[in-house]
Structure 1
Amino acid sequence: MFEHCLSHKISKDSSTQHTILNLYEFHYINENKTWTEAQQYCREKHTDLATVTNMKDMKRLNNISAGYQREAWIGLYNKTLGTRTWFWSLPGVEFNESETNWNNNEPNDKGIKDSENCGIVYQDLKWGVQGCQWPEYFLCYDDMKTWQEAQSYCREKHTDLISGTKQLQDEEVKKLMNFEFKQLYIGLFRDTWRWSDGNSSSFRHWNLQFNYPQSNSGQYEVILIKENKTWKDALTYCRGHHRDLVTITNMDDRRRIQEKVKNASTPFVWIGLRFNCSMNVWFWVCNNWAWDEQNDCNMFGVMEAGGEYQWFQRNGSERFNFICS
């Protein structure tokens, strides 16, 4: 685990001969503990679990943990019953509700509780919110990325996503919005995550291989239906009684669904994956499959209900349990 100690440490930068003041040190504790146990240990032995306030802190943590091929706790925790709070992505820029420029009826979650947690700006420079998982353009690169991918790219190539009302009122931003984009991501997000030591830092540095916590808010429940149906009948059932056949887009989704699949009464379960022979491509249905569309080879995706939970193709006329979202 990582802990930090709020002690002054003076060090010399040999390349510039400037004196650098570090207000705290990070220590790597090579012991296995739960997050709560780690927090208690750090508070007893030092100050608290580590708070990470910027990319410089991240690099320091990476240097300290070099050689340890394991995860380590930091002081970030989710107040699951807490109020979502708005932050600007750029550390040091404070969010002020009195300076907001929301579009009419924003922010809202469009009927899905707690599902929209990332900010966008429209051509008229009004702000809106949407789910962080949807690809959008963003200010610093002309490609479409999810909010967290955009943040990661901007931090790697530049400084951060555009943050704060001062930056959003820049003349260059106005020109871009007038001529090139209908809407794009800005560095505005909200979450229920807090730092153990009470620090109000907005800094987040999530692993992009896993589901982004802002995207998890209000996520759809997944339900195992222990009835044996063809793929098309399973799709009809899910859309009639729930939302859709399940889509799996990241490791968090996969782990969550595997827990449900363990209780299946068939060796495989249908998921929302179908194959198009003419295009030779697999894709998720996600409300995009037309009812009158012909599938020229009738092949669909299943997840095995045990073992390594691998995915296989099966003829759509076979009958299995299925997972709805």
Structure 2
Amino acid sequence: MALLVFLLCSEDLKFIDKFGASGHWLGLRKLRKQTWSNGDNVIFNESFVSLTEGGQMCEAIDNDTWTSYICSEKKHFMCSKDDTYTLSEQKEDWCHALKYCRTHNSDLVSIHSERENEFVLKKGNSSSFWIGLMHDEWEWQDNGCSSFRKWPIKTQDPDSEEEKERCTSYQSGKMNDLECIDRKKIFCSKGDMRIIVIKESLKWEEAFEYCETKHSGLLWIEDKEDQEAVEQWLERSDVVGPFWIALRQSRVFGFWIWRDSTVSYNNWKNGFVPDPPSSHICGVISDRTDNFTWTDEN
């Protein structure tokens, strides 16, 4: 299902600019009620945040005290599931901390009572770490998490009239706060694909490890829809390939696999699947000069 576009970072603004999307609605709307990241209502709160109009802050525990920080700041974080609480070793911004917890079948910790608060403080061992509370009245249509905002320079936040429903448009590189009944063009997106090109040249194994550690993994393409989305992104971007993708050949059986699944859809150059013994064991995708086809390389 396609939704109004979600902005994760400034690169997304640059990307939609290439479509001439200025003057269009974004998927950001003022309607959020404060809840924990897992959806629980906030019935216990030790926060004393003063949120500016259009602002966004995230809650951390710092030396046993609830403290609000800019959500893009990197901190340790605590994940919880049932009676299991885990304090991370790595540091992430709030949204990436949330993503990490959910990837590992949990969520950022929520606190519902003084007893729970004391327990979390004890588990935190006087360190500084994110908990699952974000202070933000604005919410993306797809419930995506983003600390990116680009309000006009004159105020750095939107002018809001509490009695009227507020939505957001994109105009001339800025996000603008408007009444939702205004008429604007629409710009939709489908899925949550984000492609980041690493300009440093690496071996396939090095690229795989880098993307697993720093991002969500090397790019993989599961179907024609994925392929078309990648082509669209590469077509609109000023990057030159080819690029490693998470495609490799089994040395034992000879078939091609992604990170954790076999290849069903493919877009091999000339329509031929590279087979051993003449094939190389790693996959790349070309740029527009070779119609975004796949080839095998070492």
Same fold (TM over 0.5): no
The TM-score range, normalised by the shorter chain, is 0.3 to 0.5
Greater RCO structure (CA 8 Å; 6+ sep): 2
Tell which structure's C-alpha radius of gyration is larger: 1
TM-score normalised by the chain length of structure 2: 0.36
TM-score normalised by the chain length of structure 1: 0.33
